[in-house]
């Protein structure tokens, strides 16, 4: 697993032990940032079901101001800490251990003013994605310019519209489906 662009391009992230975490493949990450754009300068990033932290770290490498990584697994939290250190982003990467099936940290000081880009990469085919999207669409952390990128198994259904979120684009990469939502003005 390597960072595909920005300051840390080519940096190898710490490997995963076992199959508990399914990281976003380098090819898929590269494709996501080709769609979103290469420059993330000044953006605030929320990486949900963060796993190895590769999506948020990729955004930091491309200039994001900060990234908040949230995962429930202690192994993931340790791996994200290690990968942030490997890439030199300890001061702009924040980590929270939380069960996202229950709720999101709406009042966290980092996200209360709004988030620019949100990655949601839950375990495939576990029915986590749509409930998290629904809760996210109902909260004020979305800016009028916010983008939400979801990763799921290719056959998992996602809604075209959910609250303030409208599906903008869908791409398939083998078994992986990437859906990109834009926030609509209220």
Which CATH number does the domain housing residue 150 bear? 3.40.50.150
Q: Is 127 part of a structural domain of the chain?
A: yes
Q: Is 119 part of a structural domain of the chain?
A: yes
pLDDT of res. 15: 64
Residue 98 to residue 30: CA distance in whole angstroms:
27
66: containing domain: 28-183
pLDDT band at 79 (very low <50, low <70, confident <90, very high): very high
Q: Is 1 part of a structural domain of the chain?
A: no
Sign of the CA dihedral with 11 first, then 64, 102, and 74 last: positive
Q: Is 89 part of a structural domain of the chain?
A: yes
Q: Is 33 part of a structural domain of the chain?
A: yes
Q: Is 5 part of a structural domain of the chain?
A: no
Total structural domains within the chain: 1
Q: Is the pLDDT of residue 154 over 70?
A: yes
Q: Hunting for tokens 């599906």 — which residue is that?
A: 167
Q: Helix/strand/coil (H, E, C) string of the chain? A: CECCCCCCCCCECCCCCCCCCCCCCHHHHHHHHHHHCCCCCCCEEEEECCCCCHHHHHHHHCCCCEEEEEECCHHHHHHHHHHHHHHCCCCCEEEEECCCCCCCCCCCCCCCCCEEEEEECCCCCCCCHHHHHHHHHHCCCEEEEEEEEEEEECCCCCCCEECCEEEEEEEEECCEEEEEEEECCC
Q: Is 12 part of a structural domain of the chain?
A: no
Residue 4 to residue 77: CA distance in whole angstroms:
22
pLDDT, the chain, mean: 88
6-10, 60-64, 111-115, 182-186 — most confident range:
60-64
Neighbours of 85 (CB within 10 A): 12
Percentage above 70 pLDDT, the chain: 90
For the chain, the straight-line distance linking the first and the last C-alpha, in angstroms and rounded, comes to: 39
In 3D, which of 150, 50, 152 has the Cα closest to residue 97?
A: 50
Q: Is 7 part of a structural domain of the chain?
A: no
């Amino acid at each position: 697993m390597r960072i595909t662009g920005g300051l840390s391009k080519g940096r190898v992230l710490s490997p995963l032990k076992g199959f508990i975490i399914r990281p976003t493949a380098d090819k898929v990450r590269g494709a996501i940032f080709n769609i979103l754009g290469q420059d993330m300068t000044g953006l605030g990033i929320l990486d949900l079901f963060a796993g190895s932290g590769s999506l948020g770290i990729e955004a930091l490498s491309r200039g994001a101001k900060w990234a908040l990584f949230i995962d429930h697994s202690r192994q993931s939290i340790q791996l994200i800490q290690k990968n942030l250190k490997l890439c030199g982003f300890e001061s702009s990467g924040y980590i929270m251990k939380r069960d996202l099936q229950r709720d999101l940290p709406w009042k966290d000081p980092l996200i209360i003013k709004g988030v620019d880009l949100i990655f949601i990469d839950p375990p495939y085919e576990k029915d986590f994605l749509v409930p998290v999207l629904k809760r996210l669409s109902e909260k004020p952390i979305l800016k009028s310019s916010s983008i939400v990128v979801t990763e799921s198994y290719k056959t998992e259904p996602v809604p075209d519209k959910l609250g303030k979120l409208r599906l903008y684009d869908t791409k398939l990469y083998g078994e992986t489906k990437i859906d990109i939502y834009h926030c609509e003005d209220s």
